[in-house]
Amino acid sequence: MKAYYNLLSNELVLISSTKITTLNLNNEDMEIIDPDNYLRIECEKPKNNLIKVNGEKVYVQFFTLKVPKLKKSKKPIKKNISGLKLIKIFNNPYISKYKLKGKNFNIGIIDGGAVFKHYEFSNGNRVKYTQNKITDDHATHVAGTFAAYGYNLNAKGVAIEANIYSYYFGNYLNSLKSLASKNINSVNNSYGYVEGWDYGNYYYGVTYEYYIENYQKGPIYSYSFGKYLTETREIDSIANQYKNFVMCFAAGNDGTDGYNFGNWYIQNQNGNWITMDPTKYPPPLNDNQQDNIGTLACAKNIITVGATNDFGLTPTDFSSSGPTDDLRIKPDIMANGDYVFSTINRGYKSYGTMSGTSMACPFATGSCLLIQQFIQEQLKYFPVSATTKACLIHGAINKTINGKYGYGLINMINTLKFLEDVLLNKSYLYNDILSDNEIKYTFNSPTLTVTLCWNDIAGQPSSDEPEKNDKSIVNQLGLYVENNGKYYYPYRLETKNGNAVQKKSDNFDSSLLVNYDNVQKIMIENLNGISNIYVKSIKFSNSQTFSLCISPSF
């Protein structure tokens, strides 16, 4: 028996190997109308972390998880079809040529409730499993973006014949493991911990005790933003345990959160809220005054997705931005998250519009499934997650590369053209193992784009102190290119607020290798003759598998 209580939603979740028939909460018996192995109810907080289920004592695990806040639409509804056009899914010639619809592939979703068995999923009754019975608008909307068939063309999703497996986020780590063990191909995670400001003037960034000790030393800000913490490490461990399993995470919607006016509130170490007078105690910095990407979204071996508007490459004001504290480029990729039209749970043919990085993330999740389908059906193997991630980033449109844009906007025409060129031996997709000094590749083209990605070993959690920037990378690989005596190095971030720069030198300079990010990309124009591409060991134990994309620039 497992029991969880969400301190934000006041929901108790019970998961049992046998049917739950009786529940005693705070010395009061509660009636169970429909006994089942899964129970989710709104109730008061259990006292002393203890309840009785079927007459047995059960300890409750408290947690604070949320579906990221949604931006309410006051503008005319813009259709999801513009989101498909933005990432080049709509009228994509490669999708029709290779029949990329996600058929016989499986997408998982972990969210705040179950996906409703909507009309858009009725072709083949594609909602194959729901962990709980309570359907949810948010979950259904997200699922529509990655898998709606398109009976209503404006709500058409990315992988229109994929099967859907719906899980609850109460114990998201167990849900991830369960989905991975069932051979789910990719999973959407549009949720995160509450960090920084939220729900009015409530501050979740640090404890009251930390604030009182430190507020006179300088501005207070949330230590968890951009941090590689225990939960982040656990997600990376799952990626290494299940090497083909692609996890897409929403970057978060903390771009505009902050203090408004009047008293503000902060929790002490016992979880009680303390009222703070701003004339005596200055409120902490607004979330948009610092890097504000969520802790879970900082994992190395996932795909973190930020939100653009549906007209182009401009990030929305609410989209959380990186980079991580150790200067890894996050988010990885961008997609439309602005006024997305999709399925909801109000009726069999109901639709609605929502905004958030929650809405951007499923564009990436569905795109990853199409990449997996192409590689399995055309290249005749199933890709590890680092390969899928590398292909998605390889084709991205780059306005700039930084902690706001990541590597740019998803472009599935570029990505699928690259994969077709691999099929035709015009471009190359390598899955290799580095166990010695370096591996050399060659390519003859006047333009060159190279993307390196690997699933890194789970790192050590960073210090809780805000100013600490402990590196999370364990196995350090370096990418570089040599052409006619000139050396080119990956895009690198040198400051949190600056744009990534791509450096070059007349002689090889090891200090220009990127030793802190497990995604590296080089884009070069005006080359002459053969380019030598190197993947070099900087520091690692034993050996490291990696994926490498090489092609002319798009």
User: Each residue of 446-482: pLDDT tens digit?
Assistant: 999 999 999 999 999 887 665 566 789 999 999 999 9
Average pLDDT, integer, range 93-111: 98
Q: What is the pTM of this model?
A: 0.89
Is residue 75 assigned to a domain? no
Q: Which of 42-56, 244-258, 413-427 has the lowest mean pLDDT?
A: 42-56
Q: What is the pLDDT of residue 164?
A: 98
**Average pLDDT, whole number, for the chain?**
92
Q: What is the pLDDT of residue 43?
A: 80
Tell me, yes or no, whether 29 and 108 share the same domain. no
Tell me, yes or no, whether 346 and 487 share the same domain. no
Looking at 413, 436, 466, the residue that finishes a domain is 413
Is residue 525 assigned to a domain? yes
Q: Which of 21-35, 156-170, 384-398 has the lowest mean pLDDT?
A: 21-35
Euclidean distance between CA atoms 322 and 309, whole angstroms: 18
Is residue 6 assigned to a domain? yes
Phi, psi values for residue 2, rounded to 5°: -120, 140
Average pLDDT, integer, range 88-96: 96
| pLDDT surpasses 50 at 74 | no
Number of structural domains found in the chain: 3
Q: What is the pLDDT of residue 45?
A: 86
Residue 76 pLDDT grade (very low, low, confident, very high; cuts 50, 70, 90): very low
Which range of residues forms the domain containing residue 492?
428-551
**CB within 8 Å of 188: residues ≥ 6 apart:** 107, 108, 109, 110, 111, 142, 143, 146, 248, 361, 362, 365
Nearest to 452 by CA among 361, 545, 541, 366: 545
Q: What is the pLDDT of residue 26?
A: 87
| pLDDT surpasses 50 at 214 | yes
Tell me, yes or no, whether 439 and 338 share the same domain. no
Nearest to 127 by CA among 181, 139, 100: 139
Burial 519-547 (b: 16+ CB within 10 A, else e): bbbbbbeebeeebebbbbbeebeeebbbb
- DSSP-based three-state secondary structure for 389: helix
Tell me, yes or no, whether 12 and 141 share the same domain. no
Note whether 493 and 403 are within 8 A (CB).
yes
Phi, psi values for residue 176, rounded to 5°: -60, -45
Kindly report the CATH number assigned to the domain that includes residue 514: 2.60.120.380
Average pLDDT, integer, range 158-173: 95
* Pairing state between β 486-492 and 476-483: antiparallel
Tell me, yes or no, whether 8 and 51 share the same domain. yes
Looking at 37, 63, 89, the residue that finishes a domain is 63
Is residue 319 assigned to a domain? yes
Tell me, yes or no, whether 436 and 540 share the same domain. yes
Kindly report the CATH number assigned to the domain that includes residue 350: 3.40.50.200
Tell me, yes or no, whether 404 and 439 share the same domain. no
Q: What is the pLDDT of residue 70?
A: 45
Q: How far is CA 329 from CA 228, 243, 300, 443, in A?
A: 13, 22, 10, 26
| pLDDT surpasses 70 at 71 | no
Is residue 498 assigned to a domain? yes
Tell me, yes or no, whether 236 and 310 share the same domain. yes
| pLDDT surpasses 80 at 429 | yes
Looking at 384, 413, 442, the residue that finishes a domain is 413
Tell me, yes or no, whether 456 and 361 share the same domain. no
Is residue 310 assigned to a domain? yes
Tell me, yes or no, whether 110 and 39 share the same domain. no
- Nearest-5° angle of CA 244, CA 136, CA 259? 95
Is residue 206 assigned to a domain? no
